[in-house]
Every structure is written in structure tokens, then in C-alpha cells.
Amino acid sequence: MYFLASPLYRTDIKGVEKDAAKMRRNEIIAETLEQAGIKLILPQRDVDQAQPKRKIWEQELELIRKCDGMIVILSDTRGLYLETGFANALGKKAFGLKVEETRPVPLDGWTAQWFDFLTDDVEKLIEYIKSLRASQ
């Protein structure tokens, strides 16, 4: 099972506001991966977002501990990179998926070292994960 780390909030405003477009995009990506047979934890769907923020964080960390790896929708939000660093420290595989708000800087050097695979195509990500399964 993979933890799908994905942005939920707007970054173009002051304050905190969920971004409906990002949340819908996350759902579409999750549906595509799940239809391909990849089991996922999608926090916006699988973790009670109404509970206190500290509880959400603790629950997400526990889910990351239990998962096989992370799929990270590369975004303009920093929380994803905290989760990815935590997964890396646990020895989990991390796969990065570039989307429209991925910063237009090359993902190479230091940042690329966090990821076992980087792509901007969800179908290539599916192929890669399936190839890992086949080699085990």
C-alpha cells in the first residue's frame, strides 16, 4: 500500500483555505492508480480532516510507517516534503509525480535524491510500480 502525499491547500492567499481543484485532481490521480491495482492511502479521503491538526499529523505519520512507500504529488507546498523526508528516514521508497503547480525548476541534485522515481505521467508511474512488483 502506498501513501499518496498530495496538496490540499491554496498557496496563493494569506491564511488557510482548502483548494477544491487540487483536491479533485488528487482524487482523479488516486482513482487512476487504484483502477490499475495500486492500493492507496489518500489522506484527504482516509484520514478524518475534521479532527485537531496534531491528531491528523500523528495519524498520517503512523500510516506512513505502515505503508510500502509514498507517491508524492510534487507541489508548491512544503508539507509534502516533510512527509517525504520522514518516509526516507524510514527507508521507504518515494515516487514523485509532477503536476501543473510543480515549480518549474529542474528536479535534480539534492531534491531528486529523495525520490526513487520522478515522472510527469501517471501511466509511467503505474508501469514503474508494477515493474517493482514483478521483480520481487
- Give the per-residue pLDDT at 108: 64
For residue 97, what are the β-bridge partners? 73, 119
- Give the per-residue pLDDT at 113: 80
What gap in Å lies between CA 122 and CA 136, rounded to an integer? 22
pLDDT digits (tens, 9 = 90+) for 100-113: 766 555 566 667 78
Question: Taking the complete model, does pTM exceed 0.85, yes or no?
Answer: yes
What gap in Å lies between CA 110 and CA 84, rounded to an integer? 13
What gap in Å lies between CA 43 and CA 8, rounded to an integer? 10
Among the listed residues 121, 62, 74, 123, the one whose alpha carbon sits nearest the alpha carbon of residue 102: 74
Answer yes or no: CATH 3.30.460.80 is held by domain 2-135.
no
Q: How sure is the predictor about 14, in pLDDT bands with cuts at 50, 70 and 90?
A: low
Q: Order of strands across the sheet with 117-119?
A: 40-41, 2-5, 69-74, 93-98, 117-119
- Give the per-residue pLDDT at 76: 67
What gap in Å lies between CA 116 and CA 96, rounded to an integer? 8
Q: In whole angstroms, how far apart are CA 76 and each of 58, 66, 115, 126, 136?
A: 23, 26, 17, 23, 34
pLDDT digits (tens, 9 = 90+) for 41-97: 999 999 998 899 899 999 999 999 999 999 999 876 677 788 889 999 999 999 999
* Domain residue ranges in the chain: 2-135
